[in-house]
A and B are shown apart, each in its own frame.
Chain A
């Protein structure tokens, strides 16, 4: 298949893709293929190693998605592509997004909620309003492009990000944090608003593409910032509602939970999340250290495919030998997890990670992750 002129990568090797697809399906069908799969969570790194910029990755969905395809073949990673960013659907709720050279899109300027009374003025966009909004059009531009030029790679993904963090962005993080104690009803109102909006976003994508894998994060809801009871109250409880509603509207069935940052004190509570048969559970850190694979396997191994977490600091500043050694240990601990195992990074691989460090993860999987 020829590549489109606006994003000029050579066509992807179909033999490689077919092989990678069998490997990718292994954990979810209960039949491991040749080896452990590797997913360093490639996002703008894919654009950067191909000569583009971080900002271009986020501003040009087609480029972002195509560069991930090309990079995944280059490194021998997953046979699916993805493009997403945090703070999704917030423009529909009155926030302004800025695209910067150093960061994924960030909320800037005045927040729509300046005082508690403003919460009553929030309007939750329904599915048809979502379909006309800027966020949806960005996803459609990218996904329609993938369907046309890389159909075998196509998996529509609804990136829920972290509902807590999104609610906090409506008013500013510090204020939201304080309000969890002083104005909890307002915080719940904001949580409800982002949850319903995000659910409508997932349903809109599912309506257009037939299904929508859901990627859900616990980013602000973590053990460095909130006590476990608050992580549940202002995080997980809304995840459950969100997923159930979105599934009823046609989204799913794949789920990927990404618990970003430190979850040393709250990781057990996420057992009450909603799990489909196609769920990946990924926990970033236990304190300052990578979350132990053995603990992830013990707690979540019978409920979900588990994903390991090579420290992103090591990916960025470590040597290939260090990454390889850590990867080997994680793979040996996790490869026999009952519902499968994927070798990954604690969060999105840093954009300027040396390529040799990603290859070190793959090399370890090839040598120590064989089935």
Chain B
């Protein structure tokens, strides 16, 4: 049963909150989009709810009745694979008084009982019972007592998305051409599969869009990550480790950025690599266990060793799915807005599975090495980025200095090219992806979303 959202209490609705064309211009945006609590509040319906949002990965709830708690914007959710195997995103909210039903981050449960007055719900969201029902004149078979849930939940190859917007296109259509790099990112792993395995979790006192602005930014690398690049290359004679390919002239290197529509974009650094087995591993900076694994694999597997080592290597792509998902290296990174000036940036690790049954003992060793490669960037790279995000938020308190620029590459003939499929490519340091995704953001902010929740009949 669909339940349309009441328009009465909405402060945004279709009303013009701001002159959006003033705030988002061709080459710059106004500081308010990062600092204004009213805009943040509107984003929680127009963006986080009004478009498809990444919720969780299927490997986090592999069995029936497995659940994990997440957020859609600020809404607490229980993402559950119900007793029949259907994936649902339940509002973590008792229909009686509004209490959250589940306080654990993950687990396995066929039902959830509210700790406050004991109302109990099946993991389909259906009300199972209330204590002393004879005290009610109401008919508890009425669907309005069943837990609210996200009306549209769809997966793409294990990535679970949800939206409250009945007018949003189907997930596959909305993803569009970004599915191609997602496919490639998955298919380099055995069976085209990854399993989520814990996370490096950071938070910063800054707006969530500062992280999304950064997600395809090739211009900041040699400055914001200077300590990382120097550290990764301190023992290297060639000086070619990690993202060293940004150092000389990144715009003439074969890497590029590509805008894919609907706010999604793709930074492809793979063309910088030597296209051979082991070409990826060759630029890995030092990691714990690296030389041991190299020697062991080459002794045991001969030529095959290089491809096995590549499975532990950090895939040089940034696949950014608006508004909150970024696949980079081997990470599934998720941006969680907490307030207008606070964001969680969670770097979920992934491991591989022996889908083809040909890895044997190498599986655990590849995964161990893959864990160590994944810990590198959050520890030595991301910490410096989020420090800079916080300092942007601070700088934007200069009220009269209103504009933030994103015009790198704009107006240079031949630099930005629109391809036949409508995607847009540009050199790696170009800010075209910011200019394009913020148009999608503006479109969403200007459009009244057709939001609904669903309850079991």
A binds B: no
Q: Which residues of A contact B (CB under 8 A)?
A: none
Q: Which residues of B contact A (CB under 8 A)?
A: none
